[in-house]
């Protein structure tokens, strides 16, 4: 199956109540052949309006940080979220919503077949790396799961709330770039 076929299937998803309030499904953007895939939490207001992940303030900061290391959504990264629809008032995704939505993400990962998966923020890291993952303690560590390298880093929204987190996140992105190069990945 191709990614655009999966997206068409996802576009009519009505598995949970978030389908009632969404304006758009936010499936994912970027290079579909990328070796690095970034996974955030859920669409916010701007993302829901535009149908693209990370297009608000968080997205601008994210693009700036990854750009420092020659990474970009047009060139060498694919970006998606744990949830494809916006939770009302940007509340945390419920476990039931995550469990219903993860099949879309699993199938995206299978098709894109990234070598490195970067979980941006607690929600993605705890679902994909481990339920006790602490971003503040374990950010920038790499863990091999099922033949892929997973890492977790600060969510840009957490950096916008506390700018002191920015150097840590930048250092994580430096490590991600270095790890990709060391593993001979296509950048
Ligand atoms: N926060 C996320 O986790 N994902 C987005 O797409 C936007 C903001």
Measured in Å, residue 90 CA sits from the centre of ligand 1 at 10
Separation of alpha carbons 158 and 75, rounded Å: 25
Measured in Å, residue 1 CA sits from the centre of ligand 1 at 26
Q: Report pLDDT digits (tens) over 48-102.
A: 999 999 999 999 999 999 999 999 999 999 999 999 999 999 999 999 999 999 9
Q: Are 112 and 73 in contact (CB under 8 A)?
A: no
Separation of alpha carbons 28 and 10, rounded Å: 11
- Establish whether residue 81 lines the binding site of ligand 1, counting it when its CB lies within 6 angstroms of any ligand atom: yes
Residues 6 or more apart whose Cβ sits within 8 Å of residue 144: 150
CATH code linked to domain 3-179 = 3.40.470.10
Please choose from 24, 28, 50, 53 the residue to mutate so as to test ligand 1's pocket, defined by most ligand atoms within 8 A of CB. Answer: 53
- Establish whether residue 54 lines the binding site of ligand 1, counting it when its CB lies within 6 angstroms of any ligand atom: yes
Q: Are 171 and 140 in contact (CB under 8 A)?
A: yes
Separation of alpha carbons 73 and 76, rounded Å: 6
Q: Report pLDDT digits (tens) over 90-136.
A: 999 999 999 999 999 999 999 999 999 999 999 999 999 999 999 99
DSSP one-letter code for 182: H
If pLDDT is split at 50, 70 and 90, which confidence band does 1 have?
confident
What are the residue boundaries of the structural domains of the chain, listed by start?
3-179
Q: Report pLDDT digits (tens) over 139-172.
A: 999 999 999 999 999 999 999 999 999 999 999 9
């Amino acid at each position: 199956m191709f990614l655009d076929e999966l997206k068409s299937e996802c576009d009519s998803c009505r598995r949970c109540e978030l389908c009632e309030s969404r304006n758009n499904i936010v499936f994912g953007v970027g290079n579909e052949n990328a070796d690095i895939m970034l996974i955030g939490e859920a669409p916010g207001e701007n993302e829901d309006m535009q149908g693209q992940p990370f297009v608000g303030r968080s997205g601008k900061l994210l693009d700036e940080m990854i750009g420092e290391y020659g990474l970009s959504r047009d060139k060498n990264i694919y970006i998606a979220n744990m949830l494809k629809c916006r939770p009302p008032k940007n509340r945390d995704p419920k476990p039931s919503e995550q469990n219903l939505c993860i099949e879309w993400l699993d199938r995206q990962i299978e098709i894109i077949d990234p070598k490195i998966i970067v979980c941006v923020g607690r929600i993605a890291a705890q679902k994909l790396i481990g339920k006790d993952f602490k971003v503040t303690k374990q950010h920038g560590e790499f863990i091999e799961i099922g033949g892929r390298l997973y890492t977790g880093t600060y969510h840009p929204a957490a950096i916008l709330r506390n700018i002191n987190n920015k150097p840590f996140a930048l250092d994580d992105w430096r490590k991600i770039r270095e790890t990709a190069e060391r593993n001979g990945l296509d950048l």
